[in-house]
Amino acid sequence: MLARSSSIVTGVLIVVSAPLLAISILSLVSGVGVSDTLYWVFWGGFSPTQIPEAMLRATPILITSFGLSLAYLARIWNIGSEGQILLGAVTSAWIGLHLGGLGILGIIVSIIFGGLCGGLWALIPGVLRVYRGANEVFGTLVMNYLALYLVSYLLQGPLRSPTSLFPETALLSKDLWVEPLIPGTRVNAFVLISPAVIVPATYILIARSTLGIKLKVVGDDVEKARYYGVETGRVIMITMFLSGFLGGVAGSSEVLGIHHRALPSISQGYGYLAIPVAVIASLEPRLILPLSIYLGGVVNGIEVAQMNLSIPSGVSYVIQGVLLIASLPMTRMGRR
């Protein structure tokens, strides 16, 4: 019990401090005062006026890490959410372009297709793992790059809006836009509904349902799962699909709620940021929302800091990389 709670504390400390440490070092390197940088990061992330934006960015992290936390509970390491988000977004936009005039029904269909595409994309490495024994970490990681280039091709080619200067799809019909609910902000229904659904769902599924324990048995030991008659292969494929589906939905939410079209920069690394959140949430589901909001805020704050100080623009990639590396030891946490 002690081991578990101390790994949660360590995990939270890593997630909280790693981005701050990374940006401090980067600003030192680029000759900017660390206190200036941190000021802008915090102001940009967590000042009252910026909280809505932090929430906005937390939403795809939250949706994605929900699915991932279930997979991680079974120690199935889907780290390909970024690709699943991108493909979900593009599919959602593409189908949305054909659904103009359907309103809420069109929105729902677009979300479902986004989710299906993300889910099927994740299922490929899942199937390879079950039937060919291919390590899903490599599988999902490679699928990220495939997704990146596929999306880039689609947006430069077949799906590119003829009227746009940039590689992006045409705008969706207005009736498919999920509009801001709070005036003066971009806070839309996704931002409000996702926590309301996901926070209790994560807690109940992981800590209060038979599913959480079943996934844990699979994660503990394949032999153990066989002893109890659990079909590990099925569990792997279902959790892979489910986590990919939610990644796709996250991509869809960005399209429908914010950009109203698909563009290459639709995910600000949310698929990577969701990984450490999900690792911790699989141990302590109640932390899924605070951590998502924190990282959403930090991402936003870093962008604000970049605009105000001369910090290199690649800094957000560094943060993603640092968090990803920091997540690696965390995958061993809470285990004997």
Partner 1 sequence: MGGGLEREPIIVARDVWKIYDGGYTALSGVDLEIYGGEIHVLLGENGAGKTTLLKILSGAIRPSRGSIFVRGERKIFRSPGDALRRGISMAYQGSSLVDGLTAEENIWIVARAAGIDRDELGEEVISTAKDLGYHLDPRSRVSTLSPAEKQALEVSIAINVGKLAVLMDEPTALMSTSSSQILLKLLREHINTGKTFVITSHKIREVAGVGDRYTILRRGTRVATITRRDLDDRDIIDVLAKHMSPQGLETYSLGTFGTIDSGEEILYVDNASIADDRGIEILRNASFRLRRGEILAIVSIDGRGVKEICETIYGLRRPRSGKIYVKPGARIRYIPSDVSRVSILDMPVAINISLRSIVSGRIALLDLEEIEARAHRIIEASKANIPSIWKPLKSLSGGNARRVIAWREAMDNPDLLVVEEPTANLDIASSQSIAMLIRSIASRGAGVLVVTSELEDPSRIGCKWLILEDGFLLDPSSSKRVRVIPGAL
Q: Which is nearer to partner 1, 7 or 327 (CB)?
A: 7
Inter-axis angle of helices 270-283 and 189-207, nearest 10: 30
The structure tokens listed for 241 are 């699909």
Q: Is residue 197 close enough to count as binding partner 1 by CB under 8 A? A: no
Taking the complex as a whole, the smallest distance from the CB of residue 220 to partner 1 amounts, in Å, to 6
Taking the complex as a whole, the smallest distance from the CB of residue 23 to partner 1 amounts, in Å, to 36
Q: Is residue 217 close enough to count as binding partner 1 by CB under 8 A? A: yes
Taking the complex as a whole, the smallest distance from the CB of residue 205 to partner 1 amounts, in Å, to 8
How many whole angstroms separate alpha carbon 335 and alpha carbon 4? Answer: 8
CB burial of 144-171 (b: ≥16 within 10 Å; e: otherwise) equals beebeebbeebbeeebbbeeeeebbbbb
Q: Single out the residue of 13, 149, 179, 208 in contact with partner 1 (rule: CB under 8 A).
A: 208
In angstroms, what is the C-alpha Rg of the chain?
20
Q: Which is nearer to partner 1, 24 or 282 (CB)?
A: 282
- Tell me which stretch binds partner 1 (CB under 8 A): 126-134, 142-150, 205-213, 261-269: 205-213
Q: Do the Cβ atoms of 256 and 176 come closer than 8 Å?
A: yes
- Tell me which stretch binds partner 1 (CB under 8 A): 60-68, 83-91, 210-218, 325-333: 210-218
Q: Which residues contact 238 (CB under 8 A, 6 or more apart)?
A: none
Sign of CA dihedral 46, 50, 55, 57: negative
Q: Is residue 162 close enough to count as binding partner 1 by CB under 8 A? A: no
Q: Single out the residue of 31, 48, 184, 223 in contact with partner 1 (rule: CB under 8 A).
A: 223
Q: Which is nearer to partner 1, 219 or 251 (CB)?
A: 219
Q: Which is nearer to partner 1, 76 or 217 (CB)?
A: 217
Under rule CB under 8 A, which residues in 93-152 are in contact with partner 1? none
The CA-atom distances, in angstroms, between 135 and each of 16, 120, 138, 214, 254 are 29, 17, 6, 21, 30
- Please tell me the count of residues contacting partner 1 according to CB under 8 A: 24
How many whole angstroms separate alpha carbon 62 and alpha carbon 1? Answer: 26
Q: In 3D, which of 160, 92, 76, 91 has the Cα closest to residue 126?
A: 76
Q: Which is nearer to partner 1, 1 or 165 (CB)?
A: 1
- Tell me which stretch binds partner 1 (CB under 8 A): 194-202, 215-223, 243-251, 324-332: 215-223
The CA-atom distances, in angstroms, between 270 and each of 2, 14, 104, 224, 273 are 31, 17, 26, 34, 5
Q: Is residue 286 close enough to count as binding partner 1 by CB under 8 A? A: no
Q: Single out the residue of 38, 137, 170, 230 in contact with partner 1 (rule: CB under 8 A).
A: 230
Q: Is residue 234 close enough to count as binding partner 1 by CB under 8 A? A: no
Q: Is residue 226 close enough to count as binding partner 1 by CB under 8 A? A: yes
Q: Is residue 209 close enough to count as binding partner 1 by CB under 8 A? A: yes
Q: Is residue 220 close enough to count as binding partner 1 by CB under 8 A? A: yes
State whether residue 188 is helix, strand or coil. Answer: strand
How many whole angstroms separate alpha carbon 38 and alpha carbon 111? Answer: 37
Residue with tokens 């769902």: 201
How many whole angstroms separate alpha carbon 156 and alpha carbon 179? Answer: 27
Under rule CB under 8 A, which residues in 3-32 are in contact with partner 1? 3-4
Q: Single out the residue of 12, 134, 224, 318 in contact with partner 1 (rule: CB under 8 A).
A: 224
Per CB under 8 A, residues contacting partner 1 are 1, 3-4, 204, 208-211, 213-214, 216-217, 220-221, 223-230, 334, 336
